């Protein structure tokens, strides 16, 4: 597959349908990696879509219909792809978004990266997503902060809340390893990530959740990493002025634990 493919309810997306999503920018989504017709954490991705559809549209989403749409969009040769399932209603308008909603399923696929990306260098940015528990399509603020970080020589932005707590990356969750190898998750309002939930479920050692303040907070940890469904566990080499060892042996253990999770058939 050489390029992104886009379908709505199993048929090629029209320009008018895509324009409706782009102009109103109201909906929610999940992104997953599929290979050979299987997805790690598929049930959790479906749970997210059903839960967020109730929040965003006050409507029920058919889990089996979502599976069918994902299955139908996968390449016949089983090549690894990144699949994004977006739920939106092209009939909703700017003037009456409170009308009864009839959500539709937009499925896009693109080739998955052939190699794992390198470590991230990130800087903190004061920003809290609207409705942070929902993976919604309101991405302007995230992309703005990512852009500004890249223009300043970093790879991405790491978000902090009004109290100065580190919460999440622009499109990823965050974890640390302390000096004893214990897994640490930052406290605060952040998206409940599927990859983070999967890793937490299989991590064999102790783990905890605690407040991590921007500034000197990250310096007390031995390693840091980003997580999302597209790349799994990705080392972080620096947060602002704090450097981490991207080859820390604990990170290899986390990657092995995550990659050992069985994938579910779509």
Which residues is 104 bridged to in the sheet?
88
Whole-number Cα distances in Å, 89 to 59, 65, 86, 252: 11, 16, 10, 42
- pLDDT value, residue 3: 62
Q: Are 237 and 244 in contact (CB under 8 A)?
A: yes
Contact at 8 Å (CB) between 106 and 13? yes
d(CA 100, CA 196): 34
Helices and strands (DSSP H and E) totals, the chain:
6, 16
Which sequence spans correspond to the domains of the chain?
Answer: 5-111, 120-260
Cα–Cα distance, 262 to 266 (Å, whole number): 13
Which fold would CATH assign to domain 5-111?
D-amino Acid Aminotransferase; Chain A, domain 1 (3.30.470)
Determine the length of the chain. 266
Q: Which fold has domain 120-260?
A: D-amino Acid Aminotransferase; Chain A, domain 2 (3.20.10)
Give the containing element (helix H, strand E) for 111: strand 104-111
Q: What does the alpha-carbon distance between residue 258 and residue 32 come to, in Å, rounded to a whole number?
A: 14
Cα-atom radius of gyration of the chain, to the nearest Å?
Answer: 19
pLDDT at 149: 98
Q: With contact defined as beta carbons under 8 Å apart, do 61 and 103 qualify?
A: yes
pTM: 0.93
CB 141 within 8 A of CB 257: no
- Taking 50 as the pLDDT cut, the residues of the chain under it are 1-2
Q: What is the pLDDT of residue 2?
A: 45
pLDDT at 61: 97
Instruction: Give the whole-angstrom CA distance, residue 226 versus residue 171.
Output: 9
Do 5-111 and 120-260 have matching folds? no
């Amino acid at each position: 597959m050489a390029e992104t493919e886009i379908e709505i309810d199993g048929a090629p997306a029209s320009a008018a349908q895509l324009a409706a999503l782009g102009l109103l920018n109201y909906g929610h989504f999940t992104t997953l990696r599929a290979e050979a017709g299987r997805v790690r954490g598929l049930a959790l991705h479906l749970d997210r879509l059903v839960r967020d559809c109730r929040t965003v549209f006050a409507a029920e989403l058919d889990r089996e219909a979502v599976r069918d749409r994902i299955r139908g969009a996968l390449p016949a040769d089983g090549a690894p792809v990144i699949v994004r399932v977006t739920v939106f209603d092209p009939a909703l308008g700017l003037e009456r978004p409170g009308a009864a909603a009839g959500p539709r399923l937009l499925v896009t696929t693109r080739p998955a990266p052939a190699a794992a990306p390198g470590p991230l260098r990130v800087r903190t940015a004061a920003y809290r997503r609207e409705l942070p528990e929902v993976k919604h399509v309101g991405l302007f603020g995230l992309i703005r902060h990512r852009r500004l970080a890249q223009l300043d020589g970093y790879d991405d932005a790491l978000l902090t809340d009004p109290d100065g707590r580190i919460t999440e990356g622009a499109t990823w969750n965050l974890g640390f390893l302390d000096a004893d190898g214990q897994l640490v998750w930052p406290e605060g309002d952040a998206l409940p990530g599927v990859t983070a939930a999967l890793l937490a479920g299989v991590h064999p050692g102790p783990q905890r959740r605690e407040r991590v303040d921007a500034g000197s907070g990250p310096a007390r940890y031995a390693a840091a990493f980003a997580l999302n469904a597209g790349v799994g566990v990705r080392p972080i080499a620096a947060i602002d002025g704090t450097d981490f060892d991207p080859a820390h042996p604990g990170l290899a253990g986390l990657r092995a634990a995550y990659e050992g999770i069985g994938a579910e058939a779509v």
